[in-house]
Structures are given as C-alpha cells and as structure tokens.
Amino acid sequence: MPNHFHHSPAQDWQHRASCRGTNTDLFFSPDGERGNVRARRERAAKQICQDCPVLEQCRAHALTATEAYGIWGGMSETERSRHIRRTRVPARHRDAAHAPAPHHHRSTCSRT
C-alpha cells in the first residue's frame, strides 16, 4: 500500500488512490492466512482497486518495484508473479535484440 509518510513527486498517484485511508490489513495477508479466508480478503481488496483512478500507475509500480506482498493495482502476489513470468523476455532473445547486427566487411585485399 502507499506509504503516505515519505512522499516524492513520482508517487503523486498514491494520493489519488481509492485505497487511501483504507485499513491496509485488507491488502496484506496475515501470517498463516489460507484458503477461503484469504480469497475473500483479496476479493474485497480488489473490489476497491476495480474503479480506482490510478489502478494502472499502482500496478506499474508494483511490477517495476517487484512488490513481494499484498494487493497492488488489483493484482495479488501470485498474479504479479505469473504476469512477470509470462511477459519476461528470455535472456537469449533479449540479448539478441540488443546485439549489433552482423557486419559483413568486403575484403580490401586483392588477389592476383
């Protein structure tokens, strides 16, 4: 959840979040919470996120900062993890995309 005590201009979106002022316990799982209890709590948190005017900024923050816990941008820890795995570019593809194209030099050596 947004940290309202340490504010930076890059986090202005947090002041417009629907969750502002909401008990953060709704967004974070207590130790040992499982099953239906956890699912109900997560659904309630996601319901607050549903119409949030800064949902996309919150989600982008969570994915960029790799937030390990809680509901952020309407996504649980598990959903964020899955999203990152699905959208991650494999290293060999990423490296190939940034590697310079092969450059073929024409030999300046003349054979006689």
pLDDT tens per residue across span 48-100: 999 999 999 999 999 999 999 999 999 999 999 999 899 887 766 555 555 55
- State the pLDDT at residue 112: 41
- State the pLDDT at residue 10: 62
Q: Which residues pair with 72 in a beta bridge?
A: 75
Higher pLDDT: 1 or 107? It is 1
Q: Above 50 in pLDDT, residue 107?
A: no
Contacts of 49 (CB under 8 A, 6+ apart): 18, 19, 55, 58, 71, 73, 74
Contact between 53 and 18 (Cβ < 8 Å): yes
Q: Above 50 in pLDDT, residue 108?
A: no
- State the pLDDT at residue 99: 55
- The 10s digit of each residue's pLDDT in 22-49 is 999 999 999 999 999 999 999 999 999 9
Domain boundaries, the chain: 13-89
Higher pLDDT: 3 or 109? It is 3
Question: At 98, which helix (H) or strand (E)?
Answer: helix 91-98
